[in-house]
Amino acid sequence: MTQFDSDIGATTGTARLEENDFGYKFYMGNSISESAAIELFYTDYGEVTLGGHAGDTFIKNGSSFSFLNNDSELSSGLTSLGINGVYKYSLGKTQSLIGKLGLVGWKYNFKIQSPVDNISNSESDYDVYWSLGFQQDMGKNLSLLFDYEMLETDDLDLNALGFAIQVSF
């Protein structure tokens, strides 16, 4: 599970910010050795929605913005597809530290809807991705993973805390 944070601060009036959409990640991989693996993954980081009426304001990166029309809504979301190498450092029989480094193709979607305009735009690119985490083995084929991942782009920095249940077969 992941969650997308918009960095939007205070809102006024009837403006509403919804950042409670959780994302998800699917991945599959193959072990090269006991401590190394390669993975393919797809991540949907969820969606952020900001809505309001004429005169409502919100703050992003220290700047104040106002809605010009009633019933306006801004929404954005991010998805990615990538490949990474995995290094596993054993802390004992059932616990490991996990490090990942790879290449990710991402797509950022942005939409504005109002009574006056409906605008959609998207941007995509490839960037380096990394992740650090902890793995707790729960049995021969079941593990719990907790990780922190980082994706930096020219316009967007994504920091995600994740929790996963890994099934091996």
Residue 9 has a pLDDT of 64
Cα–Cα distance measured from residue 167 to residue 76, given in angstroms and rounded to the nearest whole number:
31
Q: Is domain 2-167 given the CATH code 2.40.160.20 in the classification?
A: yes
- pLDDT average, residue stretch 27-38: 93
Whether 154 has a pLDDT exceeding 80, the answer reads no
More confident residue, 150 or 153: 150
Residue 7 has a pLDDT of 62
pLDDT-based confidence at 143, cuts 50/70/90?
A: very high
Residue 12 has a pLDDT of 64
Q: Which two tokens stand for residue 133?
A: 């985490």
| Residues 52-92: tens digit of each pLDDT | 888 887 777 777 777 878 888 888 888 999 999 999 999 99
Residue 88 has a pLDDT of 95
- pLDDT average, residue stretch 20-42: 89
Q: Are 24 and 41 in contact (CB under 8 A)?
A: no
Whether 1 has a pLDDT exceeding 60, the answer reads no
Residue 100 has a pLDDT of 96
More confident residue, 58 or 6: 58
Residue 151 has a pLDDT of 83
pLDDT-based confidence at 98, cuts 50/70/90?
A: very high
